[in-house]
C-alpha cells in the first residue's frame, strides 16, 4: 500500500514547530507572526482552509528569506528538524552516493555557505573505514589544484562526524552537456585537460575524485 501523505499542520502548530527549530530568534518570530496575521486578515479572510493558511505562512517566510525551500517542505510535513549540526544551519539536502548525507549548510559564526557531508555513524565506528576517511580528507584538504573543490575540515559534533567542503556553484557536467550539446573542440580540449590534471593529482596520492560539475562564473 502507498505511504499516506502526512497532513499539513494547522497554523498554530506550524508556528510552534518553527519556534522549536531554532531557525528564528524568539523575538523575531513574534514580529513575523504579527506581521503575517495582520496581512492574513486582509488578504485571505476566514474562508481560507487550514491547509491554505499554513502554506501561506510558509510561503511568506520563504519569500522573506527566513526559511529555505527544504526547511519549508519539512515544516509543512510537521517535521521539527534537526535543522542544525553544531554551528551549521542545514539549508538543503542534496543527492549523495553512499551511506552518508550531503547538505548545503551555513556556518552561523562566519555566514559561509558550505557543503556538509554527514558521515555514517556505523561506518565511522570501523577503524579501517575511519582511517581511510581521515587519509582521504587530509589529501583533499592539502590539494592546491584550482579545479578541485576545497575540503575545509573534518569535524565532530556530539555523535555526528562530518566533512566540510566548498559549496561549488554550478550544474553537474552531464546536465550541462545535455542542455548545451557537445562542446566545440576548442572549449572541450582545455576543459578536459584541466579536469584530467586534477584527477591525476588525486590519483598520484592514492585518492579518488567525486562528482564533476561546471563551475558558475560571473
Instruction: Tell me the pLDDT tens digit for each residue of 23-61.
Output: 999 999 999 999 998 886 544 555 578 899 999 999 999
Q: Give the pLDDT score at 214.
A: 58
129: domain range?
84-166
- Residue whose cell numbers read 584550482: 146
Mean pLDDT of the chain: 85
How much is the pTM?
A: 0.78
Per residue in 98-118, pLDDT (tens digit) is 778 999 999 999 999 999 999
**Whether residues 161 and 114 fall in one domain:** yes
Regarding predicted confidence, which is higher, 14 or 145? 14
Q: Give the pLDDT score at 49.
A: 86
Q: Give the pLDDT score at 119.
A: 94
Say which residues have a Cβ less than 8 Å from residue 44's Cβ, sequence separation at least 6.
52, 53, 56
Q: Give the pLDDT score at 218.
A: 41
**Whether residues 124 and 90 fall in one domain:** yes
**Whether residues 59 and 113 fall in one domain:** no
**Whether residues 98 and 29 fall in one domain:** no
**Whether residues 97 and 145 fall in one domain:** yes
| Within a domain: 127 | yes
**Whether residues 101 and 126 fall in one domain:** yes
Domains contained in the chain, number: 2
Task: Kindly tell me if the per-residue pLDDT of 128 is higher than 90.
Answer: yes
Per residue in 165-208, pLDDT (tens digit) is 999 877 777 787 788 888 788 877 887 777 777 777 777 766 66
Amino acid at each position: 500500500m502507498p505511504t499516506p501523505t502526512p497532513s499539513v499542520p494547522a497554523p498554530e502548530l506550524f508556528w510552534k514547530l518553527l519556534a522549536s527549530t531554532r531557525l528564528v530568534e524568539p523575538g523575531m518570530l513574534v514580529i513575523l507572526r504579527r506581521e503575517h496575521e495582520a496581512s492574513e486578515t486582509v488578504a485571505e479572510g476566514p474562508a481560507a482552509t487550514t491547509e491554505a493558511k499554513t502554506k501561506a505562512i510558509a510561503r511568506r517566510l520563504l519569500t522573506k528569506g527566513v526559511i529555505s525551500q527544504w526547511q519549508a517542505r519539512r515544516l509543512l510535513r510537521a517535521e521539527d528538524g534537526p535543522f542544525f549540526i553544531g554551528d551549521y544551519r542545514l539549508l538543503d539536502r542534496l543527492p549523495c552516493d553512499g551511506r552518508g548525507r550531503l547538505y548545503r549548510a551555513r556556518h552561523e559564526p562566519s555566514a559561509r555557505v558550505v557543503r556538509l557531508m554527514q558521515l555514517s555513524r556505523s561506518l565511522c565506528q570501523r577503524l579501517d573505514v575511519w582511517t581511510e576517511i581521515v587519509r582521504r580528507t587530509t589529501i583533499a584538504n592539502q590539494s592546491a589544484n584550482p579545479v578541485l573543490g576545497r575540503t575545509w575540515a573534518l569535524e565532530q559534533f556530539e555523535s555526528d562526524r562530518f566533512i566540510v567542503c566548498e559549496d561549488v556553484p554550478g550544474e553537474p557536467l552531464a546536465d550541462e552537456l545535455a542542455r548545451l550539446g557537445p562542446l566545440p573542440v576548442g572549449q572541450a580540449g582545455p576543459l578536459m585537460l584541466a579536469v584530467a590534471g586534477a584527477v591525476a593529482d588525486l590519483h598520484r596520492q592514492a585518492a579518488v575524485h567525486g562528482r564533476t560539475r561546471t563551475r558558475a562564473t560571473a
